[in-house]
Chain A
């Protein structure tokens, strides 16, 4: 009986784990919905701002702005890595950190110093394990990134860039493309890639806007805004991707636990059957002996 009972115990444990992973899957699904809604809520803003920049740069012609200028004086750059605070989300963090390391290696081979800004407990833990000093290690961001928080980071970056202390800012995060596809992306935040002013052969019926203040000044105000918005989009994307990753991981775990329960049940039935056969054999042979 000992073996059958051990199997039952094990099956019970697996069933309990399955309950937990299933609940986590459901929670992740709910969180995903919320994060997804937030991510789509930022879309109109981002789109409008980009649209405005395009329209303005068409009107303004050649523009000069410290955030557009490539800064070659400094050999120092910044890499922002966005990871999650919690685990159990499959390969999410591993993929991001691998890509971040690649980027680091490339930059350092080129003889640059890279300031690491790591967000999320998983990322900070990883770099601490590697004994790699981080300029900033924060874990305050949960799955609801606030614009104000992101704004502060963007502001710091832009100020450092304008003072020519750094030559570029990159962000490594998980881009959310669809529920089925998320991709690790390293995005160049600064310097801003020049807005496409080239196709200014003017679409037919181009609108003549009235600008206040004049277009170049307005553009100078808009460019920092695009930086902020892009960074914010990174954060919301990362939040959505994390929940998707967790959903997928927990679904796989639940399925695997279900399979295991099934196979354990089978094993238990076999063990029980062979035990009964054994006992029957005992009884029969005992009865034979008495005759």
Chain B
């Protein structure tokens, strides 16, 4: 079975590039698992964990803060503003972020959306760092 070619790209660098046999991306409405020979897909991402299993079975994961994913011809391209390894997450900072997000106003639709996104991002960081 052909392997997936996965790359994780942020504006500042290429965070990861390599083969994988399974990738799970945190889409805006839930996780999407991708196996080789998947139909072409473009998805909006939410804040959450990107998981990747290499051929040997060892798993890697990142915290991803929104962005987009494109799947075509066994290539998975993840475009995100932020990709952090679990050990790069600073739990105390994430806690602060969560507190800041919770005190944001939610008086109109735009503000509410921003607040929800900020909270989700902080919570996802805490969840991933917790392991």
* Chain A residues near B (Cβ < 8 Å): 38, 41-42, 44-46, 48-49, 52, 55-56, 146-147, 151, 159, 207-213, 217-218, 221-222, 225, 228-229, 232
- Whole-angstrom distance from the CB of B4 to the nearest CB of chain A? 16
B29 to chain A, nearest CB (A): 7
User: Contacts A48-B77, A212-B27: A232 and B11 contacting too (C-beta < 8 A)?
Assistant: yes
Please state if B28 and A48 are interface contacts (CB–CB under 8 Å): no
Extra 13 A-B pairs, beta carbons < 8 Å, given A45-B9, A146-B12, A207-B72: A45-B10, A45-B11, A48-B77, A49-B68, A52-B68, A52-B70, A55-B42, A56-B42, A159-B110, A209-B72, A211-B43, A212-B42, A213-B28
Task: Say yes or no: A221 contacts B44, CB within 8 Å.
Answer: yes
Cβ-based interface call for B41 (8 A): yes
Give CA–CA (A271, B79) in the complex, Å.
70
Contact check: which of A38, A49, A52, A209 meets B40 at CB < 8 Å? A209
Complex Cα gap A91–B29 (Å): 51
Question: Are B40 and A41 in touch, CB under 8 angstroms?
Answer: no
Which residues of chain A are within 8 angstroms of B12 by Cβ–Cβ distance? 38, 41-42, 146-147
**CB-based contact A151/B81 at 8 Å:** yes
In the complex, the chain A residue whose C-beta lies closest to that of B39 is: A210
Q: Could you say which residues of chain B place their CB within 8 Å of the CB of A232?
A: 11
Contact between B28 and A147, CB atoms less than 8 A apart: no
Kindly state the separation between the CA atoms of A163 and B77 in the bound complex, as whole angstroms: 34
Report chain A residues within 8 Å CB of B43: 211-212
Closest CB-CB distance, A229 to chain B, in whole Å? Answer: 6
Measured between C-beta atoms, what is the minimum distance from B97 to chain A in Å? 12
- Verify A218–B42 contact, CB threshold 8 A: yes
Identify A48's interface contact among B27, B39, B41, B79, CB under 8 A.
Answer: B79
A213-B44 contact, Cβ under 8 Å, with A52-B68, A207-B72? yes
B1 within 8 A of A: no
Once the chains are docked, how many angstroms separate the CA of A218 from the CA of B104? 26
Q: What's the minimum C-beta distance from B100 to chain A, rounded to whole angstroms?
A: 14
B14: interface (CB < 8 Å)? yes
When the two chains form their complex, are residues B11 and A42 in contact, meaning their CB atoms are under 8 A apart?
yes
Q: B residues near A, CB below 8 A?
A: 9-14, 27-29, 32, 39-44, 68, 70, 72, 77, 79, 81, 110
Residue among B14, B44, B72 facing the most chain A CB atoms (10 A cut-off): B44
Chain A residue, CB-CB nearest to B29: A212
Q: Is the CB of B77 within 8 A of A212?
A: no
Contact A49 B79 (CB under 8 A): yes
CA distance A115 to B69 in the complex (A): 37
Q: In whole angstroms, how far apart are the Cα atoms of A49 and B70 in the complex? A: 10
Contacting residues, chain B, for A221 (C-beta < 8 A): 44, 68
User: In the complex, which residue of chain A has the Cβ closest to the Cβ of B80?
Assistant: A45
Bound CA–CA A209/B42 (angstroms): 6
Given A45-B79, A147-B81, do A212 and B41 touch, yes or no (CB 8 Å)?
A: yes
With the chains together, A208 CA to B42 CA distance in Å? 10
Name the residue among A46, A209, A211, A228 with the largest chain B CB count within 10 angstroms. Answer: A209
Using Cβ atoms and an 8 Å threshold, which residues of chain A touch B70? Answer: 48, 52
CA distance A147 to B67 in the complex (A): 14
Q: Which residues of B contact A42 (CB under 8 A)?
A: 11-12
A41 touching B42 in the complex, CB below 8 Å, given contacts A49-B79, A52-B70? no
Contacts of B79 in A (CB 8 A): 45, 48-49, 52
Q: How distant is the Cα of A42 from the Cα of B10 in the complex, in angstroms?
A: 7
Known: A207-B72, A218-B44, A222-B68. A44 touches B81 (CB 8 A): no
> In whole angstroms, how far apart are the Cα atoms of A38 and B11 in the complex?
9
Q: Are A212 and B44 in contact (CB under 8 A)?
A: yes
In the assembled complex, which residues on chain B have CB atoms less than 8 Å from the CB atom of A147? Answer: 10-12, 81
Question: Which of chain A's residues have a CB closer than 8 A to the CB of B14?
Answer: 41, 44
With A42-B12, A48-B9, A52-B70 already in contact, the answer to whether A211 and B42 are too (CB < 8 A) is yes
